[in-house]
A and B are shown apart, each in its own frame.
Chain A
Amino acid sequence: MDLGIQNVSKAFGATAALRDISLAIHAGELIALLGPSGSGKTTLLRLIAGLESPTAGQVFFGDEEASGKPIQQRQVGFVFQHYALFRHMTVLENVSFGLSVRPRESRPPKREIEMRAMDLINMVQLTGLERRYPAQLSGGQRQRVALARAMAIEPKVLLLDEPFGALDAQVRKDLRHWLREIHDRTGHTTVFVTHDQEEALELADRVVVMNEGQIEQVGSPDEVYDHPAAPFVHRFIGEASELPVHLGQGQIWLGGQPTGLASDQIGLALLFFRPHQIELVDDGSPCLVGKIIASRRMAGTRRLDLLVGSGGHHVEVDVPIDHPAGQQDMLTFRPKVWTLFPENEDEAGVRRKEAREARVVYPRNRSAGPLRQYEPSCS
C-alpha cells in the first residue's frame, strides 16, 4: 500500500507541529522518521494512523484520500511507545482483540480467531506465554506482543512509535534485526519513529530527517549520511565538526589562512567534516592547525578536542590510538571528506556570536597563550 502525504500541516492551538509536509512512501518500504524530540515525527505518524487529523493537507492510502476516515477504517497496525497492552487481558486475548471486536458479519469464528492469534504469537516467538498477563512479561516480550496484536488485524501499513525506546541496549539490537526480518517476510509498508540515528540508519530503506515540523531530507541511509542536504542533517546524523570558512581563489580559507582544500565557489560558508574522516598533515603543505585541549579514548580510536584558527573554533578529530599526537600540544590535519554549506552574512554573524559564547565553555589548559601564534606552523 502506497502512502501519500500532501502539504500536510498540523497545529496544536498556536503551536505548529507540522508545517506543509509532503512525502511519498512506496508499498513495502521500511521508513524511519528521524528527528530530535519536538520535531513533529510522532505527530506525522499519528496523522497517518488517523489518531490526529491534519489542520491542512491530505493523507492518501493508495489512490484513496483518507484524511476524513476514522482510525477504525484505516486498517493500520499501530505499535505504541509504551505498548499500551490491555493489562487485564492475557497475551492471547490481547492479540485476539482486533479480530474479536469486528462486527458479526466479518468476524471469524472463535476457533479461527484463536488459531490466527496463536500463529502470530509463534511468529513473535512467545509460544508458551499466551496465558500470561502483560505485567508478567519483560519489556522486550511486551514489545513483541504489541507487534503481534497490531499485525492480527492484517494491516495495510504498520506504524511504530519509538518501538525500541524503552528497552535496554542489547534487547534493542536483537529486536532491531528481528523487526527487519519480519518486515522482509511479511512485506508490510512500515513506518517507524525514532530519535536514534543508529537505529534509523541500520533498519530503514529510507530515512526521513525531520526538524521543527519540517522534513530536512529524505534519502537512503547512505545518502543522508554521506550527502547531508542541510547543516542540521549533518549535525544530527553521525558526528560532525564545523568551521566557518571563506571561499575564494579556488580554495577554502579559515581566518585568512589557506586550508589546502579546493573549492571553486566564492563567499562565506560552513565547512563540515566528520571526526574520523581526516588525514594528518606533516609535510608543511596548507592545512588546519589545532591546539589540543583534551584527549579522550573512544572504543577503537583516540578522540582529540581541538581549538582551530584564530577564532578558536572547537572541533573534534579522531587519530589512531598509538599516534603520538595524543601527547602533543598541536595537531596539523585536513579533512579527507567534507561538505560546504553556503551562508549569508546575517547567519554568519549570528553563528560567530554563538561560537564566541560557546568558546568560553571549553577548558583551556596548560600554557594557553594567544592562539594566533601557533598558526603559521604549516602554511
Chain B
Amino acid sequence: MADQTISIQSATAETPLVRLVLMAIAFLFLALFLFLPLVVVVSEAFRNGVGAWFQAILDPDALASIRLTLLVAAISVPLNMVFGVAAAWAIAKFEFRGKAFLITLIDLPFSVSPVISGLVYVLLFGSGSVLGPWLKGWGIEILFAVPGITLATIFVTFPFVARELIPLMQDQGSADEEAALSLGASGWQTFLHVTLPNIRWGLLYGVLLCNARAMGEFGAVSVVSGHIRGLTDTMPLHIEILYNEYNFAAAFAVASLLVGLALVTLVLKTAIERRYAD
C-alpha cells in the first residue's frame, strides 16, 4: 500500500530535475540581462569614490537636468492621471460609437516608436509648420523648450494610467455608481466617494509606471529637446551627452540616480500589489 501512494503525483507537478533546470534558466537569464547591468551602473558610478559621485551630481548642468526632469514629470504625470481616468471612465461605463477606435488610439503611443512621436511634434511646431511660427509670433516657444519636452512626454506616457484602469473599471461595472446615485449622491460625490476608492490602487500603480517612464523617456524627448546644456537636457539626455564626451564616471553617476528611482518604483509597486491582493 505504502509503495503505491508514493508513486502518486499531482498531474501538474514536474519532476525535480525539470524544476531545477527551469529555475536555473530563469535565474541565469535574470542575472545576466537584468542584475548585471544594474551592478555595472552602480559600480561605474562610484568607481572614483563617493566624492566624485557628488561632484558629478552637483555639477550645474546635471542639477539643471534633474530639475527639468522633475518639472516635466510634475506636469505630465498629473495631466495623464486626469486624462487616463477620464478615458477609462468613458470606455468602461458608456457605450458609444467609435469606442473600439478610442481604445486603439490610447495604445498608439505604445505601438509607435518614441522617435516618431517626437518627430510628429517637430512637424507640428517646427519652423516649416503653420502652428510653430504663429505661436512664436505670440512669444510662445514649443520646440527646443520645456513645452515641447512636456508634450512629447505626455504623449509617450499617456497609455499607462488608462491601460491600468480600463480592465479594472470594466470588471467593476457601474452598479456601485448606480447605487450611489439612487441614494441621492451627486455625480461628483459618486466619483469621490465610490469610484475613486474602488480604483485607487490601480490608479496609484498606473501613476507610478507613468512617472517612471516620464522621467526615463529618451527617444521622443531627444528629438524635440535640441540638447541645449543646462536648459533643455533632461536626465537621460544629459547622461548621453556625458557618455559621448567619455565622461563615464559622471554619466554613470547620473544614471545611478535614475536606477535608484526605478528601484523605488519597483518596491512601491510590489507593496501596492500586496495591498491589491487583500
Residues of A within 8 A of B (CB): 49-51, 70-72, 75-78, 80-82, 84-88, 97-98, 101-102, 149-150, 152-153
Contacts and interface: CB of A to CB of B under 8 A. Distances in A.
B176 A84 contact: yes
Interface string B161-195: 00000000000000110111111111001000110
Contacts of B185: 72, 97-98, 101
B198 interface: yes
B175 A72 contact: no
Contact of B183 (A50, A82, A98): A98
B202 to A, nearest CB: 13
Contacts of B60: none
B179 A84 contact: yes
B97 to A, nearest CB: 11
A87 B241 CA distance: 51
Contact of B193 (A80, A84, A97, A102): A97
Interface of B: 175-176, 178-186, 189, 193-194, 197-198
Contact of A84 (B178, B184, B189, B197): B178
A101 B192 CA distance: 11
A260 B87 CA distance: 71
Contacts of A86: 176, 179-180, 193-194, 197
Contacts of B180: 86, 97, 101
Nearest to A80: B175
Contacts of A50: 182
B182 A51 contact: yes
Contacts of A70: 181
B86 to A, nearest CB: 22
Contact of B179 (A72, A75, A80, A88): A80
B173 to A, nearest CB: 9
24 contacts: A51-B181, A70-B181, A71-B182, A72-B182, A72-B184, A76-B182, A78-B178, A78-B179, A80-B175, A80-B178, A84-B178, A86-B180, A86-B197, A88-B197, A88-B198, A97-B180, A97-B183, A98-B184, A101-B183, A101-B184, A102-B184, A152-B183, A153-B183, A153-B184
Given A101-B186, A101-B189, A71 B197 contact: no
B183 to A, nearest CB: 4
A84 B176 CA distance: 5
A150 B180 CA distance: 10
The 3 residue pairs across chains A and B that have the minimum distance between CB atoms: A98-B183, A84-B175, A84-B179
Most buried by B among A75, A82, A85, A88: A88
A101 B179 CA distance: 13
B74 to A, nearest CB: 28
Most buried by B among A51, A84, A88, A97: A84
A94 to B, nearest CB: 9
Contacts of B184: 72, 75, 98, 101-102, 153
Nearest to A70: B181
